[in-house]
Structure 1
Amino acid sequence: MHIVANEPSLAFYRLQEHVRKALPPMVDKRIEVLKLHQELQGRCYDVEYAVSAVKSIENAEQSFQNTQELLRNALFTKQQMRYKESRRSNKEPTSVYKRLSAHITLDLPDLPEISDALRETAFKVESIMTQARTSNVPSGMDNN
């Protein structure tokens, strides 16, 4: 019994049986570990990139302050231009269209095609109203 149990061919059979049962799950686990390692490495690169982005944002503080200062200057200049325009328009005789547009506070984007069309339309409306005024005013009332 001792000889049969310790026979080399039987031992090799038992080793082969053990390897056949244990090797496939080990290979599957190794493949899974390699996939997880690749995913982990990718996420580490992402974290490193995010950290470098945060550090570059910290270094960009001066740029943001410059941009903020430029925006303040632009707003101040716009206010000055509006003030000068309002003083200039108070000195000039105002048309009905200009008085109406002074009450509209809608800021539209600068569209050259639309602004040209609006300018032409405003000019036509003003000229029609001027013609209507001059044709309806008696000759004796022109001096007022």
Structure 2
Amino acid sequence: MRKMSYNTDLDLENKVKKSTERISENMHIVANEPSLAFYRLQEHVRKALNPMVDRRVDVNKLHQELQGRCYDIEYAVSAIKSVDKAEDSFKSIQDNLKNAIFLKQQLKYEESRKKKPDTNSVYKRLSAHITLDLPELTELSDVVRETANRVESIMKSSHS
């Protein structure tokens, strides 16, 4: 019987040894698992934090730009409303412009009636009937104008 008990003891010893190894391994895993979890968390935070901060800075910047544009829109709306209120002023300005144009035309008409063209000038009467299609020569036209002025002054001095 001793032999059987020795075999059972070896068998039992192997089973106990395997069990204790598994328990030890499980204890090692359980003991190290929280630190592994914290390591994974730290790794995730380290990788995700910088992009998340950058995104937050971008969102804050966009928020400020959006607020600025909202203020611009509010200002534009108030300006448009004030233009609606200025309609009477614009109508008054338009009426004053019409009156000013009419008065200017009247003044021009009165001045044209007061100024009578010098019909005594032979050159002017002659030039009114002569039409030539000459090319534009600036030097020639200056000379012609100067000559015409001289002829007129001679004619006036001879009548005097």
Give 1:94's aligned amino acid.
D
Q: Partner residue of 1:42?
A: 68
**Post-superposition offset of 1:3:** 6.2
**How many equivalent pairs are there?**
107
**Post-superposition offset of 1:5:** 4.5
Q: Partner residue of 1:22?
A: 48
**Residue 4 (str. 1) matches residue 29 (str. 2):** yes
**Post-superposition offset of 1:64:** 1.0
The alignment's C-alpha RMSD in Å is 2.8
Partner of 2:118: helix, strand, or coil?
coil
Measured at CA, do residues 129 and 5 of structure 1 come closer, stay the same or move farther in structure 2, by a change above 3 Å? farther
Pairing of 1:87-106 with structure 2 (within 5 A): 87-90=113-116, 94=118
Partner of 2:115: helix, strand, or coil?
helix
Pairing of 1:1-144 with structure 2 (within 5 A): 1=26, 4-5=29-30, 7-90=33-116, 94=118, 129-130=152-153, 132-135=155-158, 137=159
Structure 2: distance between partners of 1:51 and 1:41: 15
Q: What TM-score do the two structures reach when normalised by structure 2?
A: 0.55
Which stretch has the larger CA shift, 9-18 or 70-79? Answer: 9-18
**Post-superposition offset of 1:128:** 8.2
Structure 1: distance between partners of 2:27 and 2:91: 89
**Post-superposition offset of 1:55:** 1.1
Q: What TM-score do the two structures reach when normalised by structure 1?
A: 0.61
**What's the CA shift string for 1:26-70, capped at 9, x where partnerless?**
111101101111111111111111111111111111111111111
Q: What percent of counterpart residues are identical?
A: 57
Structure 2: distance between partners of 1:129 and 1:35: 80
**Post-superposition offset of 1:75:** 0.9
**What's the CA shift string for 1:51-107, capped at 9, x where partnerless?**
1111111111111111111110101101211222222224xx6366xx8xxxxxxxx
Larger radius of gyration: 2
Segments of structure 2 that go 5 or more residues without pairing to the other structure are: 1-25, 125-148
Segments of structure 1 that go 5 or more residues without pairing to the other structure are: 100-124
**Post-superposition offset of 1:8:** 2.9
Give 1:134's aligned amino acid.
S
Measured at CA, do residues 58 and 3 of structure 1 come closer, stay the same or move farther in structure 2, by a change above 3 Å? farther
**Post-superposition offset of 1:131:** 5.3
Which stretch has the larger CA shift, 69-78 or 81-90? Answer: 81-90
